[in-house]
A and B are shown apart, each in its own frame.
Chain A
Amino acid sequence: MAVKNLGAKWFKLRGWKAFPFQKEVWKALSENKSGLLHATTGSGKTYAVWLGALACWSQVVSEQHSHKKMLQSKVPLTVLWITPMRALSADTYSALKTPLEELKLDWTIGIRTGDTSSYQKTKIINSPPSALVTTPESLSLLLTRSESLNNFAHLKLIVVDEWHELIGNKRGVLLQLALARLRKISPNVLTWGMSATLANLDYAFDVLNPTSNQRCIIQAETRRKIVIDTLFPDKRTRLSYYGHLGLMMLPYVLQEIERYSCSLIFTNTRAQCEMWYQALLEKKPEWAGEIALHHSSLDADARQWVEAAVKSGKLRAVICTSSLDLGVDFSPVEKVFQIGSPKSLGRLLQRAGRSGHSPGKVSRITIVPTYHLEYLEAAAVQLAIKFNRVEPRLSLEKPYDVLVQHMVSTAMSNGFVSEIFFQEVKSTYAYRNLTFAEWNWCIDFLHRGGDSLTAYPEYQRIKLDENNYWQLANANFGKRHLANIGTIVSESQVSVRYWKRGGSKKTLGSIEESFAARLKPGDHFILGGNLLEFVKIYQMIAYVRKGHGKKSYVPRWNGGRLSLSSEVSGAMLNQLELATQAIYKGPEMRFLKALLEIQQYVSAIPSSDRLLIEIWQSREGSHAFLYPFAGRGVHSGLAHLIAFRLATASENTFAMSVNDYGFELLSFKTIDWSTNITHAMFDCDNLVNDIVSSLNAGETAKRRFREIAQISGLIFSNYQGSYKTARQLQASSSLFFEVFSQFDPNNRLLKQAEIEVLNQELEISRLGDALKKIQTMSLNFKIIQHPTPFSFPLVFERFQETLSTEKLTDRVQRMLESIQNDYPDRYYQ
């Protein structure tokens, strides 16, 4: 029989009091409503939704059987709990399990993620639990098996945890498609999203529940107090003008760590994480065993050990990356450090929330700037938070590569009828504007390789059967597809294992193939805090021994780069505006006073009504630095646009460098910037055309194509079956890009690369706004003799791209002449 007032009852058992928002959720669920719960971790959101679900659909086990004795629940799969990170799933699992045992309910729970053993995975399909905790990728994998489709027929509730993390990227799109599938299989299933640090809740609800006709949005009132501050070095430390590593701040971070029993130290890259761990260990060898590191390229066992150790209070400090971003409930954590820029308010708040979980405790985060401009950012961030300006997140619009992957997954399970499946896909938010022509292009892509005008003979990934169902054409494609499902695209990963006679199965973690390819036997590198000696690489496995000695490399992983949000950059400009009036508010601005005065003296302080343009002539050529403070994406777009417009007026080649505060153009031919950069250069007319042309003249679209090539199955990073045959089918994405450009220029994947660059990398809508703003500003040209505090970081940032309108031969001649001047002992013809 069902338990009346299950939630209240269980809370009473635990000695807890239910918050009003929790009662609201329980009520909404009992009224059969879908909803969105806006609550931070540790606020009780999990039990709000879970207990509501149990109240609706669970029963108490009859007296004769204890819960533990039941081998298999007769209750079919009723709740699907989706969490974006593997690190969360174990935690969620324990949290969900507890009330089942204490109230003696008839439900069982399972987990299925990338870390689940194959035995467990089979078990889940053959005898599914009543509730399953899983990730979006694992869900997509489950949906490729027709046997598991049947398991979803009795689904009553889908829970999407940390929805704000998924809504804005391709993982979220894949999830939207998977939800549409589930709603087909179990039409009345409810969906509850849980999100935090989100600005646009109505929108977030609609994307998750596109067919719902009423919105139910519940806000948790509990707001934990958050204390944010900045770490300063003492007066004797020289402030760095560039650098993201930040190790000169280590002594100060150590002082702070000693004041708290447990701290998390967030770094922005994995390499940085490894380096900080080494540096910490070197400075405090007595802390070995009390500190650890955690990032996504470490083996699952290592990660799980760290997570468990933090929870049991064994560790005093953990250095990590975004791998620990999301809500794992680490109650011992008292303090969080953010090394370098957090990039967005949402991220900062989220990370702050990793601390102070116990009731009555305060969340504390300290920003540790790694160079001078990050102090400015730290000031701006704290100001923006005061006004609660968290960033809104928007869903992507109909990406073809994700759709194509989903089509193959569906063809693999039961197959699909085109017209019917089209309607199902169109019911999602991301694909609501998908046209039938675009749909057919995708089908043709899988069936024939392209549209009917460009035939791809002998090619077929899906084929039509006699009942008008599209099915997978060949079982081998299926294996490859399964190994590469998902949208988290990375370079091919190489597993790292100890070299042992008879082989060793234990993996330490993974490194990128490009890094592994450069290693020679005897080279040392660091992974997971271990010093390793490279022995050899064989079939995508790198074998290593314990290393000795000091000199070692830190692997380099290429991750995504988050752009500074406009909320933060806007606040930065405000602070600079005050500085031009000699007003310095707050410890960060006062810290920067001397430096900003130097900037003012040798050049000018960027402001919101005058666009500062610094001009510098060096050995390399003629540089122009511009500071719109609009985030790296927009700056990339601006750099492309201006370079292209200048290069169209007169044949030239430009190199571009960008960061979140400004961008640099380097012209190899002499150019008079002040007469060439006029307001006309920032015209909005023809913006899209010019940017698209600039992309073709540059390299960005080609880079973007890599992700698309992988998601749509042109290239793959996970090898299935014979390594050798798989290798023969591997071609680089740039090779595909070239062959498509030459022989099938209307290919929609190429088009998608273009669109993605426009929307995501160059952030074209923000770009339009930035241009309009610049039209209202005066152009302030300053000639500088040496790099200034603001241009220094750009000078040291590597040039990301070149854009050229020179004839290729001319360009080569120019390069050769210049190289000749640098190396006169070589000669060229």
Chain B
Amino acid sequence: MHFEIECAGENILLLSDRALYWPKKKTLLIADVHLGKAEYFRKNGIPVPVGTTKLILFRLDKLISQYPTENIYFIGDLFHNPDFLSNELLSCFIEWRKRTVSVNCFLVTGNHDKVIDNNVITNNLHILSPSHHLSPFDLTHNFEENSSMFQITGHVHPIYRLKKGSIEKIKFPCFVVRPKVLILPAFGEFVGGYKVSPQINQSIYLCCDQDIIGININ
């Protein structure tokens, strides 16, 4: 399911599976996938179960089939630790690219994947600078204070805690929309999050299972 909104004059869809779709450009915008995070923990003696990578790639496949996609822009932290990629992970990634060879993939680098010198990745993705202009948007991993452009960012892993009084509280990953910024939720599995607090001139869209629910606070 999706929710259609308008940003900087463009119609975009907020998807309940934590991604953004831009119909005009047939483009998916995705942030904070953190592929390889579970592996990194395992490598350091902490047993995180297998399955996150497969699930992430499966979800990507599903999005591509649901929404006609020609381009995917990963806005930072696609890989949790590019120095540390196992063969298993790389082969999954190569296979995924073989399946999605018709889709152009771009990576706007983030803090976790600042430098990538792995051939497998560079052969399968276009690596862009930390800030990339995709008119009329600026795609940048982390929000930049003094910018006149409308930014689409990630990094924050926003989570909204819906509270009814002090009794009922439920947490949801969410999209945060402000006049000049759109913050994407983290797409990955086994990623933590940071709470977003209510503000004026900010809309929050909760990713609630298959649904997406908007909360406007003015």
Q: Enumerate chain A interface residues (CB-CB to B < 8 A).
A: 445, 448-450, 454-461, 473-474, 476-477, 480, 620, 653, 655, 666, 668, 713-714, 728-729, 731-732, 735-736, 738-740, 742-744, 747, 798-799, 802, 808-809, 811-813, 815-816, 818-819, 822, 826-829
Interface pair A747/B49, CB less than 8 Å apart: yes
Interface pair A815/B168, CB less than 8 Å apart: yes
Q: Can you list, as one digit per residue, whether each of B19-44 has a CB less than 8 Å from chain A (1) or not (0)?
A: 00000000000000000001111111
Nearest residue (CB) in B for A736 is B48
Which B160-189 residues have a C-beta within 8 angstroms of A?
162-170, 189
Interface pair A655/B217, CB less than 8 Å apart: no
Nearest residue (CB) in B for A744 is B49
Q: Which residues of A contact B191 (CB under 8 A)?
A: 735
Nearest residue (CB) in B for A445 is B47
Q: Assuming the A-B contacts A655-B167, A815-B168, are A456 and B216 also in contact, with contact meaning beta carbons closer than 8 angstroms in the complex? A: no
Stretch at the interface among B67-75, B97-105, B128-136, B205-213: B205-213
Nearest residue (CB) in A for B37 is A731
Interface pair B164/A826, CB less than 8 Å apart: no
Interface pair B216/A829, CB less than 8 Å apart: yes
Interface pair B47/A459, CB less than 8 Å apart: yes
Interface pair A808/B47, CB less than 8 Å apart: no
CB-contact partner of A818 in B46, B164, B190, B215, under 8 A:
B164
Interface pair B167/A743, CB less than 8 Å apart: no
Cα separation A620 to B165 with both chains bound (whole Å): 9
Q: Which residues of A contact B42 (CB under 8 A)?
A: 449, 456-459
Q: Which residues of B contact A812 (CB under 8 A)?
A: 162, 170, 206, 208, 213
Interface pair A457/B50, CB less than 8 Å apart: yes
Tell me the smallest distance from the CB of A461 to a CB of chain B, in Å. 5
Would you give 22 A-B contacts (Cβ < 8 Å), ordered by A? A449-B47, A456-B48, A456-B49, A457-B39, A457-B42, A457-B86, A458-B39, A460-B45, A477-B44, A620-B167, A714-B47, A728-B40, A729-B44, A731-B41, A731-B190, A736-B48, A739-B38, A799-B167, A812-B170, A815-B162, A819-B164, A828-B216
Tell me the smallest distance from the CB of A719 to a CB of chain B, in Å. 14
Tell me the smallest distance from the CB of A620 to a CB of chain B, in Å. 7
Q: Enumerate chain B interface residues (CB-CB to A < 8 A).
A: 38-52, 86, 88, 162-170, 189-192, 206, 208-211, 213-218
Q: Which residues of B contact A460 (CB under 8 A)?
A: 45
Tell me the smallest distance from the CB of B36 to a CB of chain A, in Å. 11
CB-contact partner of A743 in B51, B169, B216, under 8 A:
B51
Cα separation A327 to B80 with both chains bound (whole Å): 52
Tell me the smallest distance from the CB of A713 to a CB of chain B, in Å. 7
Interface pair A809/B215, CB less than 8 Å apart: no
Interface pair A808/B208, CB less than 8 Å apart: yes
CB-contact partner of B43 in A454, A459, A731, under 8 A:
A459
Interface pair A808/B52, CB less than 8 Å apart: no
Interface pair A743/B88, CB less than 8 Å apart: no
Tell me the smallest distance from the CB of A98 to a CB of chain B, in Å. 47
Cα separation A476 to B166 with both chains bound (whole Å): 43
Q: Which residues of B contact A666 (CB under 8 A)?
A: 167
Interface pair B211/A809, CB less than 8 Å apart: yes
Tell me the smallest distance from the CB of B114 to a CB of chain A, in Å. 14
Q: Which residues of A contact B44 (CB under 8 A)?
A: 476-477, 729
Nearest residue (CB) in B for A454 is B49
Nearest residue (CB) in A for B210 is A809
Cα separation A798 to B165 with both chains bound (whole Å): 11
Interface pair A457/B88, CB less than 8 Å apart: yes
Cα separation A747 to B48 with both chains bound (whole Å): 11
Tell me the smallest distance from the CB of A239 to a CB of chain B, in Å. 26
Choose among A459, A474, A744 the residue with the greatest number of B CB atoms under 10 Å from its CB: A459
